[in-house]
Amino acid sequence: MQIQLQQVTIRPIQPADNAALARIIRAALEEFGANKPGTVYYDPTTDALYELFQKKGAAYFVAEYEGALLGGGGIYPSDGLPEGTCELVKMYLSPQSRGIGLGKKLIQKSLQAAQQLGYRQVYIESMPELKQALYTYEKFGFRYLDGPLGNTGHFGCDRWMLRTVEADEQL
Helix or strand or coil: residue 136? helix
Q: Residues 41, 46, 49, CA angle at the centre, nearest 5°?
A: 160
pLDDT attached to residue 75: 98
- 102's enclosing H/E stretch is helix 102-116
Q: Computed from CA positions of residues 132, 66, 55, 165, in that sequence, does the dihedral angle turn out positive or negative?
A: positive
Q: Which helix (H) or strand (E) holds 73?
A: strand 68-76
Dump the DSSP string for 40-62. Answer: TTS-GGGGGHHHHTTSTT-EEEE
Give the pTM: 0.93
Give whole-number Cα distances, 77 to 41, 48, 112, in Å: 20, 17, 15
List per-residue pLDDT tens for the chain, 171 residues long: 688 888 999 999 999 999 999 999 999 999 999 898 888 899 899 999 999 999 999 999 999 999 999 999 999 999 999 999 999 999 999 999 999 999 999 999 999 999 999 999 999 999 999 999 999 999 999 999 999 998 877 778 899 999 999 877 777
- How crowded is residue 82: how many other Cβ atoms within 10 Å of its Cβ? 11
